[in-house]
Structure 1
């Protein structure tokens, strides 16, 4: 039995604070992708919302999360760099969705900019088999983890040679059941190029919608 299409902006309590996000559940969806966008990267909101819409078109539910911190918490710079706090928040958000009547029986995934990679890794390690896979976009920052139990896709511009070399080194160090680097041709920074962003959207959508077609990079 399929679910009816559901779309709503929701506010919900997490660890004594209130966060907000847009939840969209297409009919027949059995995978929910949490799409994270922090305030400091709000200029990319239109692109990441376009990605959510593309996933919805493939019958994949999405939760567009407007940051893991409240406005007041963001004013304290150390909070924005506290990966333990941010990963714990992501875990709490995931648990909230796991208990939501519309999404409790779904598989879960994460997508966002590569600067969020550390919290993706930390959350997936603690959540064990509750996360199906995740995708991060752009050059990977230094990480404190070297093990991951879920498949990983990193999307990066093919002209970002230095970033590719860094990401390949990082990927070699990370133990994962499946990992792939998807290169966007002709792009050093696909976040700034709307046409190249279409290729980013396709790579991420294909990853989540066709797991059997994934290939290790």
Structure 2
């Protein structure tokens, strides 16, 4: 059964004693939903991820932008790099989505930036075929190194052409991933894709990847 109406609301997703706040938007007729895992120091208010989410919705995909850490947790710099905790929160989020009437029938994809990409990849290994596709933007997939061989979801790694160290880390991660995979290096882009036109390229690449693997034809 496809989604019958547009949905736009805040959601509160429990993980133990904590609750994550998220912005859920699902276009009418959507069959896929992309969960955003933000990078260190970022949040559901990230203008870059919100731009990408807008583009994904224009392609008929639902989006969930959420804060994996509480406000207090985010003040602890080390917690921003606790990939195990971030992955635990992604896992709790995905299980919650599969229990909700509005989202339980939707194919799930992950969009991860920076450390969020590592959390997305690690979580995907625990969920197997439940995750339909993954896109990493300027990600640190190397931080999920022990899990990369177990990733089953088709994975797209997008890196800025002027993000030298991260290019190398992504290429090493790409070599270790055994699933369907692709790596794209955007010429002239730095880590945050702030250069004119570069984020637009990222959004279109991500949209085509998710449409290919999440939208039921």
TM-score class, shorter-chain normalisation, is 0.7 to 0.9
Q: Counterparts of 1:35-114 in structure 2 under 5 Å?
A: 35-37=36-38, 40-42=41-43, 45-65=46-66, 67-114=67-114
Corresponding residue SS for 1:129: helix
Confirm or deny: 8 A CA contact 2:161 2:187 kept in the other structure: yes
Gaps of 5+ in 1: 213-217
Moved more, 119-128 or 31-40: 31-40
Q: Counterparts of 1:68-217 in structure 2 under 5 Å?
A: 68-140=68-140, 142-143=142-143, 144-145=145-146, 146-147=148-149, 148-176=151-179, 178-189=180-191, 191-211=193-213
- Kindly indicate whether structure 1 or structure 2 has the higher relative contact order, using CA contacts under 8 Å at least 6 residues apart: 2
Gaps of 5+ in 2: none
In 2, Cα distance between equivalents of 1:15 and 1:22: 20
CA RMSD across the alignment: 2.2
Distance 1:43 1:13, change over 3 A: closer
Give the drift of 1:174: 2.4
Give the drift of 1:163: 3.4
Distance 1:42 1:83, change over 3 A: closer
In 2, Cα distance between equivalents of 1:55 and 1:154: 17
Confirm or deny: 8 A CA contact 1:109 1:133 kept in the other structure: yes
Distance 1:137 1:38, change over 3 A: closer
Q: How many residues matched?
A: 210
In 1, Cα distance between equivalents of 2:212 and 2:94: 22
TM-score by length of 1: 0.87
TM-score by length of 2: 0.87
